């Protein structure tokens, strides 16, 4: 059987932590930043963890 390929879009968007959790970036932090407050932009700057409901789909894309 052939090897499964990793989804190349997911490969660029998610990273694995040391404890096996999956990190992601926040959306809405790439453009139209002038109307967003400093506080909102600052809070979008941090990494977040992938929610439990989405973990299976993300792991399938990353072939974990």
Averaged pLDDT, 55-62: 96
Confidence check: pLDDT of 64 > 90: no
Helix (H) or strand (E) holding 42: helix 38-44
pLDDT digits (tens, 9 = 90+) for 3-54: 999 999 999 999 999 999 999 999 999 999 999 999 999 999 999 999 999 9
**pTM to 2 decimal places:** 0.81
């Amino acid at each position: 059987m052939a090897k499964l390929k990793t989804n190349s879009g997911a490969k660029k968007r998610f990273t694995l932590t040391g404890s096996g959790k999956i990190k992601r970036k926040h959306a809405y932090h790439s453009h139209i930043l002038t109307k967003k407050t400093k506080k909102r932009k600052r809070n979008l700057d941090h990494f977040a963890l992938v929610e439990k409901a989405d973990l299976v789909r993300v792991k399938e894309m990353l072939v974990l």
